[in-house]
Structure 1
Amino acid sequence: MQRATIYSIASTVGVSPSTVSRAFSRPEMVKSELRERIVTTARELGYSPNRAARGLATGRTGVIGMLVPDVENPFFPPLIRAVQGAAREKDAELLLIDSELSASAEQELVDRIRPQVDGLIIASPRLPSKQLHEVLRGIPSVIVNRAVRNLPGVVCDNTPALQEIADHLHQLGHRRIALLRGPQAAWAASHRAKAVRAWAEGKDVELVELGPFEAQFADGRAAAQQIVASDASAVFAFDDLMAAGVISGLSELGERVPADRSIVGCDDVLLAQTMTPGLTTVSAPFAELGRASVEALTELLAGGPSRTITLPGTAVLRGTVGPAAS
């Protein structure tokens, strides 16, 4: 059996070989109906595009790089899966790199993978903004989960959802609330803290700020003693993983959630949905974040404008929030 080529596909479909080539290398230049016929015929004939050859013809590798700070943090696996799915729809591969919470490693890793990828998606980078601009000079890049001036990005605005949960706590009688600040270098930490602070202004509540803490289970667990000492009846943790650590730490101290203290997380990762009681949190739109980041990068690669896309989070009330203990 002869190996299928763009020429055999072209003969079967009744188009030129260059049209077949464009259907794979520049799909936006081929009408969708014709492109679908070409792709279907290629699949039936067992044709697999040669990515290396395509790269020589187009100057593209067909690979998107994705840099995350901590692949073990439960926020990132659903985001990675969403980006990978969106990249696959663009016929692109994903090269995943973990910087292991190191800002200096981010710069080294970007330099290392730069020749291998068409562009980058960088989630929650730790590098200072000025340095990030320097590192990304010359390579199309989209920042996820952090707003950086003059760099395209996709962010989730949790402010309305956090304030909705805060209103709910207030209605339940909570008047002394602890805010566990997240990592000092994290844009999301300052953004979430700002949302809670803005809500507390003018309210008959006392906001007690603790931290900063790393977005780790162990840090949340260690914060439990400070929370008890603060006498706060409700707690906003930076994220779900930290919130789970807080609940574990409070349990060791003999405290019950939500009977003694109410706990709120952020992101609505799988952990938040499966723990008992279920964690009250803000749900991040992971599928939309991934799709939007790939779309934004695709636009950049096509010479489109740089822009920031903002998506909303959603308040999710579960069992870790209850009336303030009398």
Structure 2
Amino acid sequence: MKRATIYSIAKECGVSASTVSRAFSRPEVVNPDVRELIHAKAQELGYRPNRAARGLASGRTGTIGLLVHDITNPFCPPLVRAVQRAADEAEVSVLLVDAHESSAAELRLIKQLKGQVDGLVIASPRSSSALSGAAEGLPTVVVNRRMRGFPSVVCDNTTALLETGRHLEELGHRKVALMCGPSTSWAARQRAATVRAWAQGTRVTLVELGSFTASFEGGREAARALLGAGATAAFAFDDLMACGVMGGLVEAGVEVPGGCSVVGCDDVLLARAVTPQLTTITAPVDQLGRAAVDALGRRIAGEHVRDVRLEGTLTLRGSTGRPA
């Protein structure tokens, strides 16, 4: 059986070879019905477009960028894997870059990526107003932050955080600490605002501590502040900080959850590796990555893309209990 080509597909579909080529290189300019017919016939005949040739014809690289704020943060590797899986299905490559928690590095890297990638996914960016200028002309989707001018894919933890607050109140906690995350983090600000809203109108006194870095050492620092606060439970910004809090409390002779309950956020692998296992809010990371790649693909094709909101869910484990 002869290898399928754009010419054999064109003959089967009754269209020109250039139309078949455009259906793969510039699908947005081909009538949707015709495009669907061409793609179906290509699949039937086992045709796979040559990426290099397609890139030369379309001016595209077949590569998307993924910019993360800190690759050592346990939330990032699962997101990278989710983006990679979705990109594989879309037959594009992923170029991963790490900003090392630096706003200046983010802006520099975005500018460097222009011309190397067809579009960019930025996870939890720390820079704000300057981002629009840096990414101008480069299709971009933002994950875990809402920013004007960019479509976003976010995990909305509002409902889960409110449920967590009710859980702590029902356990009998009346003084709860909020361990604030990095001041440059949009997610940290959103989570803190939700916890404050929950505390209002309850019998709970909320004590705010920090901000602290989103790291294990940041959690240990938070634990030292927590020891003098008189709180019997604590919301940590994320799981990595929460594990640092737990470690610091245990070193100081405070049992978890007997002496203090601790709640994290994201449900990274570390949350299940510590003892006791961490009560946390589970983020749908696979869905976040898939939605980000899908949104970016549509942006590259010139389509209007709406923001995507996915919900986190409360996962109860051993780090929360009744106060002693």
Q: TM-score, normalised by structure 2?
A: 0.90
User: Could you report, residue by residue, the CA deviation over 1:241-260 in whole angstroms, capped at 9, with x for unpaired residues?
Assistant: 00011111111111111111
Structure 1 CA distance for aligned equivalents of residues 12 and 272 of structure 2: 49
Q: Is the 8 A contact 2:237 2:264 kept in 1?
A: yes
Q: Aligned residue for 2:91? A: 91
The 3-state SS of whatever aligns with 1:231 is coil
Deviation of 1:113 after TM superposition, in Å, equals: 1.0
Task: Give the superposition deviation at 1:33.
Answer: 7.1
The answer as to 2:246 corresponding to 1:247 is yes
1:130 alignment partner, SS class: coil
Deviation at 1:58, TM superposition (A): 1.2
Q: Secondary structure at the match of 1:185?
A: coil
| 8 Å contact kept, 2:10–2:20 | no
Aligned residues: CA RMSD: 2.3
The CA deviation string for residues 86-134 of structure 1, in whole angstroms up to 9 with x for no partner, is 112221111110011111111111111111111111011111x221111
Deviation track 1:208-258 (CA, whole Å, cap 9, x = no partner) reads 111101100111012212111101100100000000111111111111111
Kept after mapping to 2: 8 A contact 1:13/1:41: no
Q: Name the counterpart of 1:173.
A: 172
Q: Is the 8 A contact 1:6 1:17 kept in 2?
A: no
What letter matches 2:169 in structure 1? H
Preserved contact between residue 27 and residue 301 of structure 2 (Cα < 8 Å):
no
Partner of 1:35: 39
Residue 225 of structure 1: aligned partner: 224
Q: CA deviation at 1:200?
A: 0.4
Deviation (angstroms), 1:38 = 2.8
1:141 & 1:300 partners in 2: Cα distance? 7
What amino acid is aligned across from residue 180 of structure 1 in structure 2? M
Aligned residues: 318
Structural mapping, 1:280-295, within 5 Å: 280-295=279-294
Residue type of the alignment partner of 1:91: E
**Matches of 1:9 and 1:242 in 2, distance apart?**
58
Determine the structure 1 residue equivalent to 2:82: 82
Counterpart residue type for residue 175 of structure 1: R
Q: CA deviation at 1:181?
A: 0.3
Aligned-pair CA distance for 1:42: 4.2
Distance 1:133 1:218, change over 3 A: same
1:244 maps to a residue whose letter is: C
Q: Indicate how the Cα distance of structure 1 residues 17 and 304 shifts in structure 2: closer, same or farther if over 3 A, else same.
A: closer
**Equivalent residue, structure 2, for 1:55:** 55
Question: What's the offset of the Cα at 1:139?
Answer: 1.1
User: Is the 1:9–1:20 contact (alpha carbons within 8 Å) kept by the matching residues of 2?
Assistant: no
Aligned partner letter, 2:42: I
Mapped partners of 1:33, 1:314: distance in 2: 41
TM-score (norm 1): 0.90
CA distance in 2, matches of 1:265, 1:322: 14
Q: Is the CA contact 1:262–1:320 (under 8 Å) kept in the aligned structure 2?
A: yes
Shift of 1:146: 0.6
Q: Aligned equivalents of 1:111 and 1:143: distance in 2?
A: 16
Q: What is aligned with 1:6?
A: 5
| Amino acid corresponding to residue 73 of structure 2 in structure 1 | N
Matches of 1:93 and 1:7, distance apart in 2: 23
Task: Check whether the contact 1:179–1:235 (CA below 8 A) recurs between aligned residues.
Answer: yes
Tell me which moved more, 24-33 or 206-215.
Answer: 24-33
Aligned position for 2:129: 130
Q: Please give the alpha-carbon distance, in whole angstroms, between the structure 2 residues aligned to 1:123 and 1:74.
A: 13
Gaps of 5+ in 1: none
Equivalent residue, structure 1, for 2:183: 184
Deviations 1:264-303 (A, max 9, x none): 0000111112322211011111111111111211221222
Q: Distance in 2 between matches of 1:19 and 1:93?
A: 25
- Kindly indicate whether the alpha-carbon contact (under 8 Å) linking 2:178 and 2:208 is maintained by their aligned counterparts in 1: yes
CA-CA distance at 1:52 after TM superposition: 2.9
Q: Which residue of 2 aligns with 1:68?
A: 68
Asked if the contact 2:9–2:38 (Cα under 8 Å) also holds between the matched residues in 1, the reply is: no
What residue number does 2:147 align with?
A: 148
**Local SS of the residue matching 1:126:** coil
Q: Structure 1 CA distance, aligned partners of 2:313 and 2:8? A: 47
Q: 1:91 to 1:27 in 2, by over 3 A?
A: farther
Secondary structure of the structure 2 residue equivalent to 1:295? helix
Is there any run of 5+ residues in structure 2 with no aligned partner, and where? none
Q: Secondary structure at the match of 2:115?
A: helix
Aligned equivalents of 2:259, 2:299: Cα separation in 1:
51
- Residues 1:213 and 1:194: Cα distance change in structure 2 (over 3 Å): same
Rounded to whole Å, the distance in 1 between the matches of 2:269 and 2:11 is 47
CA distance in 1, matches of 2:257, 2:83: 36
What one-letter code is carried by the residue in structure 2 that aligns with 1:66? L
Q: Distance in 2 between matches of 1:257 and 1:91?
A: 47
User: CA–CA distance in 1 between the matches of 2:262 and 2:210?
Assistant: 16
